[in-house]
Structure 1
Amino acid sequence: MLDNLPRGTICIEDIEMGMSRYLRKVVTDRDIEMFAEVSTDRNPVHLDDEYAQDTIFEGRIAHGMLTAGLISAVIGEQLPGHGTVYMGQTLKFLAPVRPGDMVLAKVTVIDIDHAKRRVTLDCVCEIDGKPVLKGEAKVLAPSRKFD
């Protein structure tokens, strides 16, 4: 299940402080398996129920970078959207994401440098209102002047 706002582009000329966009997605076993295949990260804590039971997580968890990828999706598809160039991202992983969890990934504009087309975004992923990931992204936003 994927629930999000319309996709597209918000140009630097239209970006405002406090502007937010989000998506909601249920992380599935298939998502975890596909991420393991693409990334080549086959850590058994993500893929092997028996192994994962004996870890501090007491069960399988999604890759942290899979969760972080949901932030990337909001940035690349919604705010600023198509044409955005990632410049940097900080991440702090606060809690595990498990198969079947509904993740809310949200970005909020916290700084804008119109002259350089740079936007800083507060990034958070939550499950049931509890943060599982926090960070900050710096991006180069698209502009109507360069269409």
Structure 2
Amino acid sequence: MLDNLPRGTICIEDIEMGMSRYLQKVITDEDITLFAQVSTDHNPVHLDDDYAQDTIFQGRIAHGMLTAGLISAVIGEQLPGHGTVYMSQNLKFLAPVRPGDLVRAEVTVVDIEFQKRRVKLDCECTIDGKKVLVGEAMVLAPSRKFD
């Protein structure tokens, strides 16, 4: 299940403080398996039920960067959207994400430097309203002046 707002581009000229966009996605076993293949991170805490049961998580969890990738999707598809260039991202992982969890990834504009086309975004991922990831991104937003 993927629930989100329309995709596209919001140019720097139209970005406002407090503007926010999100998507929601259920993390599946297939997502975790595919992420392991693409990233080459085959840590058994993500892939092996028996191994993961004996960890502090007491079960398999999704890769943290898979969850963080949902933030990237909101930034690259919605706010600012197509044409955005990532400049920096910091993340703090607060709780595990498990197969079957519905994750809501949301970004909110907290600072804008119009002359430099820079936008600072608060980023968070939640499950049932509980924060599992927080962070901040700096991006270079597209502009109509460069079309």
- Compute the TM-score of the two structures, normalised by the length of structure 2: 1.00
The answer to whether structure 1 residue 18 and structure 2 residue 14 are counterparts is: no
Counterpart of 1:99 in structure 2 is 99
Task: Show structure 1 runs of 4+ deviating over 2 A.
Answer: none
State the alpha-carbon separation in 2 of the partners of residues 111 and 34 from structure 1: 35
* Deviation of 1:64 (Å): 0.1
> Deviations along 1:111-137, whole A, 9 cap, x unmatched?
000000000000000000000000000
Q: Deviations over 1:14-49 (max 9, x none)?
A: 000000000000000000000000000000000000
1:67 corresponding residue in structure 2: 67
TM-score when normalising by structure 1: 1.00
Distance between the aligned counterparts of 1:73 and 1:134, measured in 2? 15
**Within 5 A, what are the aligned runs for 1:1-147?**
1-147=1-147
Unaligned runs of 5+ in 2: none
Q: Which amino acid aligns with 1:106?
A: E
What is the letter of the counterpart of residue 131 of structure 1?
K
SS at match of 2:98: coil
Paired with 2:17 and 2:90, the residues of 1 have a C-alpha distance of: 20
Q: Which runs of 5+ in 1 are unaligned?
A: none
Instruction: Look up the SS of the partner of 1:35 in the other structure.
Output: helix
